[in-house]
Chains A and B, each alone.
Chain A
């Protein structure tokens, strides 16, 4: 069904339209969240939060961009918020542990294995994901949207509300940084 019709139906409170929207875009939203937060449980949580937000604020969607672009933006915003909350919690837990208060220090998560990566590339992909997590936010989002979600530079530019040349520049810097970090990683490993 046409996405504009679905959105109009959802604006009128049609539950079946919401179900269709969720079933159509759930894997896209989940996959994007997973690429950013690199944790299956957190990605599920973010995907749910995203659709709750869609349900509650579909009235504010003017249709100036594609519905999927709007969804990507909500998902990314939620994922980044989630990461910031997690970092704050980790910092707070560490500070509390310094004062001897009974608080569990959040430990660094184990290597992330994306379920969509082919078996013989799993180890290298886990290393790459770990390195991607160290990139600056904009480079990380651009790289993840292009490499993990398979969006073209044009689509990435629409989601990030920027130009294609900016995305090209972000991607170039992301690849340079990744290459340098990976070189250091493999040198240290030897």
Chain B
């Protein structure tokens, strides 16, 4: 390498020797507190930003779908049970040939008579 370039490189590498610490502009704390106050959120803003998080949105959607699926499946089972009960009652009535009324000893025709 040429000696002049070598010298320049060496001087450049040493140019940070003895560097002083840089200071921020005056009233840094005042500007910082202003920023902190701007960053402070109300409870509604905090809730809003929490609810609008993609993770929360997706999780909520999943829970809603799960609850829906559960209700639909449960309703289907209940309907089947109701159909079964109705079916059994009909069968019972058919078997007894609608004789429930005739088995009664109560005299419907002569209610007023002793």
Contacts and interface: CB of A to CB of B under 8 A. Distances in A.
A19 B29 contact: yes
Contact of B19 (A22, A43, A116, A179): A116
B103 interface: no
Interface in A126-157: 127-128, 131, 147-150
A52 B24 contact: no
A62 interface: no
Given A117-B15, A117-B16, A52 B22 contact: no
A94 interface: no
B16 A115 contact: no
Interface in A1-45: 19, 22-23, 26-28, 30-31, 34, 43-44
Interface residues of B, number: 24
A22 B8 CA distance: 40
A114 B15 CA distance: 11
Interface in B40-93: none
Interface stretch (A82-90, A99-107, A159-167, A181-189): A181-189
B21 to A, nearest CB: 5
Interface string B1-36: 100010011011101101111111100110110011
A112 to B, nearest CB: 11
B13 A178 contact: yes
A72 interface: no
B36 A125 contact: no
B21 A27 contact: yes
Interface residue SS majority, chain B: helix
B9 A179 contact: yes
Given A116-B20, A179-B9, A187-B5, A23 B29 contact: yes
Nearest to A118: B18
B82 to A, nearest CB: 57
B4 to A, nearest CB: 8
B35 A183 contact: no
A51 B1 CA distance: 47
Contact of A186 (B9, B23, B29, B31): B9
A152 to B, nearest CB: 15
Contacts of B94: none
Interface of A: 19, 22-23, 26-28, 30-31, 34, 43-44, 47-48, 51-52, 55, 114-118, 121, 124-125, 127-128, 131, 147-150, 175, 178-179, 182-183, 186-187, 190
